[in-house]
C-alpha cells in the first residue's frame, strides 16, 4: 500500500464547487527523468493543435522551462500544477481555469511518475495530480536498452497504485523494426496497450545547460524547428485517434474554475505574531515558528484610486513566471507592463512597482551590466520606496555585482556562479513585514539555482526556512522583498493584494 502524503497546509478556499469540467485530458508520465516526457508531451500538443484542436498545456511541478515549449506547441499559455506549492485542493481549479474552452488538455508529468516532494509520500507527484484530475495516464518508456523486461517495468507502474489509471504506453528511443516487435510482444503478454513508438532521432533533441533545457525565449527560431520535429515524429509514430479516445474517457472533474478576482476576495488577514521561536543560528529577527498555519498576507485595503503600473521583467534573461501572477496583479487593480532589462533603458512610464522573477541573468551578466541607464533607474525607484518583488534571478540583479559585473546595487550583497546545485521544495514563513507579506505569512516555495549570494540573508531577512534545514534567507530593505525562493502567488493571493496596495500608496 502507498504511504499517504503528509498533510499539506491549506490554501485560501476557492469558490464552492459548482461546476464540472469534462475537458478530455491525458497525463504524460514516465518511470524516471530523461525518458522523453517533454519530447512526447510537446509533440502530442503540437500534433493535436495542427489538427485544429484547442489544446491546453500543463506541467506538473514548479518547472518554468517546459511550459515555454508547451506554449510554442499550442499557442496557449503553459500552466503549472503543483500540489506542494499550491496545495492539492487548488490543482483541479487551476487546471479548469487553464483548460476552459479547450478541446483537449495534455499534462506533462515530473520526474518518475511516483516521485514527489522529498519525505512527503505522493505529494506533488505526477501520480497524485493524475488522481486529482481523474485523468488517464500514458507512460513514456525509454526502451533503448531493453526488450522483454519492458513488460515487468510497465507492470510495476500499472499495479503500484490501483487508483492511477495507466491507459497505455508510448515506447521511446526504439532502435529498429525488430526491436519494436520484441517490445510489442512483451507488452501484449502483459495486457498493456502500445499507443505509440518513437524512434531515435537527434533532430528532436533540445540543448540543455546547468538548469535544464535552454528556454524558448533564448532560441526561438531553433525552438520552433524542434517543436515541429517533435510533432512530426510523434504524429508518425503514435496512434492519435486512440490517444484522443483515451483522453475522452477521463472522469468529470467536479470543481469550480479558479478565478483571480474571487481568490483575492477570499484572502484573509494574517494573525498577530504570537508564535514560538524559530531556532536559526544568528537570527536577529522576530521569533517565529515556521510550523505556524498558513494565512492570507494582508489586512483591509487602505483605499486609493487609479491603476498603478507594475513593471514585470521579461526577455531572455528573465523567463520564469507563473501565468497566474500577472492575472492576480491585474485583478488586484494593477496595469501589468512587461519590459526587457537587456534592451530597455528605462522602466515603463509611471512605474509604481517592480517584479523581477527568475531566469538566467548569469548567462547575460555582461549585457545586463552594460545597460547602466536601466540599472540606475531601478536603483532610483528603490530609493523612492517603491515596492519591488524579486525572486532568484531578480535577487541576483539587485545585488552589487554578479560574477564581477556591476548590477543594480540595491542590495549590499554579491552573487556568483557555483558548481553546486541548490534544488528542492521549501517550507517558509515571512520573518519581516515587507511590501509583499506580513511577518508570519506562511508560504511554500522552491529553490533551483547554481549561484551563491553572499551574505545569504540581510539584516532584515525575507524568510525563515524549515527545510532542508532551518535558516534565514533573503532581504527586506525599504520596499524590496528579494529572495531565492520561487513562490506561487495563487497559494497566497493576499500577497498580491498587499503588493498592489503598496504600489498605490508608496
Catalytic residue positions, numbered: 392
Q: What's the rounded Cα separation, in Å, for the pair 313 and 456?
A: 23
Expressed in percent and rounded to 5, the helix, strand and coil fractions of the chain are 30, 25, 45
**173: enclosing H helix or E strand:** strand 166-174
Q: How far apart are CA 429 and CA 289, in angstroms?
A: 8
Q: In what order do the strands lie in the sheet with 309-313?
A: 335-339, 309-313, 351-356, 388-391, 480-483, 475-477
Instruction: Give the length of the chain.
Output: 506
Name the residue among 308, 398, 381 with its Cα closest to residue 346.
381
Contacts of 482 (CB under 8 A, 6+ apart): 388, 390, 391, 394, 395, 398, 410, 411, 462, 474, 475, 476
**Alpha-carbon span 269 to 494, nearest angstrom:** 8
Helix H segments across 283-364?
Answer: 323-331
Q: In angstroms, rounded to a whole number, what is the distance separating the alpha carbons of residues 168 and 377?
A: 55
d(CA 281, CA 457) in angstroms, rounded, equals 12
> What's the CA gap between 377 and 382, in Å, rounded?
9
Instruction: Tell me if 261 sits within 8 A of 328, measured CB to CB.
Output: no
Pairing of strands 335-339, 253-254: unpaired
Taking the C-alpha atoms of residue 43 and residue 49, their distance in angstroms, rounded to an integer, is 10
Q: Which of 106, 52, 101 is nearest to 79 (CA)?
A: 106
Amino acid at each position: 500500500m502507498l504511504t499517504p502524503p503528509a498533510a499539506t497546509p491549506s490554501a485560501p478556499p476557492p469558490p464552492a464547487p459548482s461546476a464540472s469540467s469534462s475537458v478530455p485530458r491525458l497525463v504524460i508520465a514516465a518511470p524516471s527523468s530523461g525518458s522523453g516526457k517533454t519530447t512526447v508531451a510537446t509533440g502530442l500538443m503540437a500534433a493535436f493543435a495542427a489538427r485544429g484542436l484547442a489544446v491546453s498545456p500543463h506541467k506538473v511541478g514548479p518547472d518554468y522551462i517546459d511550459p515555454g515549449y508547451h506554449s510554442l506547441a499550442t499557442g496557449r499559455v503553459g500552466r503549472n500544477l503543483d500540489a506542494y506549492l499550491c496545495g492539492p485542493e487548488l490543482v483541479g481549479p487551476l487546471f479548469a481555469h487553464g483548460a476552459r474552452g479547450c478541446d483537449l488538455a495534455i499534462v506533462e508529468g515530473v520526474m518518475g511518475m511516483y516521485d514527489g516532494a522529498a519525505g512527503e509520500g505522493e505529494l506533488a507527484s505526477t501520480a497524485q495530480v493524475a488522481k486529482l484530475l481523474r485523468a488517464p495516464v500514458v507512460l513514456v518508456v525509454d526502451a533503448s536498452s531493453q526488450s522483454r523486461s519492458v513488460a515487468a517495468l510497465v507492470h510495476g507502474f500499472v499495479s503500484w497504485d490501483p487508483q492511477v489509471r495507466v491507459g497505455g504506453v508510448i515506447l521511446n528511443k526504439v532502435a529498429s523494426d525488430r526491436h519494436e516487435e520484441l517490445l510489442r510482444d512483451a507488452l501484449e503478454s502483459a495486457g498493456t496497450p502500445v499507443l505509440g513508438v518513437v524512434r531515435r532521432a537527434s533532430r528532436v533533441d533540445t540543448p540543455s545547460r546547468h538548469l535544464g533545457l535552454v528556454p524558448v525565449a533564448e532560441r526561438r527560431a531553433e525552438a520552433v524547428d524542434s517543436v515541429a520535429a517533435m510533432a512530426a515524429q510523434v504524429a508518425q509514430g503514435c496512434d492519435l485517434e486512440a490517444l484522443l479516445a483515451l483522453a475522452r474517457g477521463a472522469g468529470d472533474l467536479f470543481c469550480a474554475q479558479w478565478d483571480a478576482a474571487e481568490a483575492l476576495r477570499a484572502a484573509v488577514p494574517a494573525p498577530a505574531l504570537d508564535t514560538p521561536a524559530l531556532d536559526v543560528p544568528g537570527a536577529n529577527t522576530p521569533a517565529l515558528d515556521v510550523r505556524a498555519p498558513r494565512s492570507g498576507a494582508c489586512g483591509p485595503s487602505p483605499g486609493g484610486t487609479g491603476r498603478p503600473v507594475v513593471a514585470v521583467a521579461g526577455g531572455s534573461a528573465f523567463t520564469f513566471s507563473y501565468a497566474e501572477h500577472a492575472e492576480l496583479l491585474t485583478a488586484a487593480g494593477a496595469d501589468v507592463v512587461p519590459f526587457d532589462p537587456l534592451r530597455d533603458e528605462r522602466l515603463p512610464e509611471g512605474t509604481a512597482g517592480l517584479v523581477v522573477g527568475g531566469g538566467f541573468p548569469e548567462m547575460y551578466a555582461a549585457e545586463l551590466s552594460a545597460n547602466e541607464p536601466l540599472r540606475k533607474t531601478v536603483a532610483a525607484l528603490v530609493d523612492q520606496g517603491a515596492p519591488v518583488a524579486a525572486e532568484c534571478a531578480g535577487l541576483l540583479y539587485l545585488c552589487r555585482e554578479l560574477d564581477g559585473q556591476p548590477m543594480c546595487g540595491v542590495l549590499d550583497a554579491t552573487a556568483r556562479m557555483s558548481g553546486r546545485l541548490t534544488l528542492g521544495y521549501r517550507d517558509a514563513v515571512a520573518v519581516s513585514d515587507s511590501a509583499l507579506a506580513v511577518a508570519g505569512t506562511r508560504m511554500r516555495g522552491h529553490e533551483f539555482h547554481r549561484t551563491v549570494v553572499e551574505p545569504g540573508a540581510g539584516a532584515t531577512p525575507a524568510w525563515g526556512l524549515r527545510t532542508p534545514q532551518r535558516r534565514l534567507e533573503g532581504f527586506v530593505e525599504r520596499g524590496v522583498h528579494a529572495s531565492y525562493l520561487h513562490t506561487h502567488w495563487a497559494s497566497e493571493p493576499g500577497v498580491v493584494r498587499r503588493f498592489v496596495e503598496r504600489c498605490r500608496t508608496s
